[in-house]
Amino acid sequence: MKTLDACKILDAHRDDAIVVCTMGAMNALDKLPLNPLTMACVPLMGGAASIGLGLALARPERKVFVFDGDASLLMELGGLVSISHARPKNLYHFVFNNSIQFAGLGNLETPGARSADLVAMAKACGFEAAQRIDALDDLESRLKGILAGPGPSFVEVVVEYDAPALGTENPAVEMTDERFTRMGDEIRRIRHHLGCDAAVAA
């Protein structure tokens, strides 16, 4: 399953959901039409799920999707406990698992890639539901039921990865300034879209 194809399906089912994305899913969503309720967690590897938790608690009237990565989840694994403790019924945590760090760039194996059971971890932490999906048609057919159920819900989406772009022929890649400012800009865009600033001004 390609990350972009999975993101297209999830994006088609989001309705008015807020999406917090990071890592490969962020790059995929950047190729889809802009949604003002999407924000990237970057560069802050590991932070997407907790930002999503805050949004879910602040806005219980709408769903919040987190598009995480396997290595970024592992970076703040205790966040699964923080989420289950807070019990946000509107939080849906999708983890795009390609078992690789710097996918498409350097392709370094994620620790635990061959042994860690992310779904079992989410269940053990107390998520309302947790499942693994490794085929695009399964994602399409099961998604409606997943979103009809209560959160916090965890979905491990098993995805492929591209060949590494970095190497002797392409030894470096520069980070743009925008990569360090977009998270704040997108937070403010979400606040504006939700009318938060008007509420403060009032």
Partner 1 sequence: MSALAKENPMKQFSKHSVSAQAMVDAFKRCGIDYVTTVPDMVQIALHQLLDSGESGLKVVHCTTEDQAIEVAGGLYAGGKNVAVIVQNQGLYAGINSLRALGLDSKVPLLFVIGQFGREFSNLGGNPRDSKRRVVFLLEPLLETLGVPYWRLEGPDDMGNVEAAWKASRERSGPAALIVGHFVGW
List residues near partner 1 by CB under 8 A: 18, 20, 39, 41, 43-44, 46-47, 50-59, 76, 78-79, 81-82, 85-86, 180-181, 183-184, 187, 190-191, 194-196, 199-200
Range list of H helices, 128-201: 136-148, 178-194, 196-201
- Decide whether 168 or 176 has the Cβ nearer to partner 1: 176
> Whole-number minimum distance, CB 190 to partner 1, in Å?
5
Grouping H, G, I as helix, E, B as strand and the rest as coil, residue 90 is coil
> Whole-number minimum distance, CB 196 to partner 1, in Å?
3
DSSP 69: E
Is the alpha carbon torsion for 176, 102, 7, 36 positive or negative?
A: negative
Is the alpha carbon torsion for 45, 51, 56, 59 positive or negative?
A: negative
- Decide whether 148 or 201 has the Cβ nearer to partner 1: 201
> Whole-number minimum distance, CB 94 to partner 1, in Å?
16
> Whole-number minimum distance, CB 199 to partner 1, in Å?
6
- Decide whether 1 or 19 has the Cβ nearer to partner 1: 19
- Decide whether 8 or 189 has the Cβ nearer to partner 1: 189
> Whole-number minimum distance, CB 157 to partner 1, in Å?
22
DSSP assignment of 109-123, as one string?
EPTTTTT--HHHHHH
d(CA 85, CA 130): 16
- Decide whether 125 or 159 has the Cβ nearer to partner 1: 125
Cβ atoms of 155 and 93 within 8 Å: the answer is yes
d(CA 139, CA 59): 26
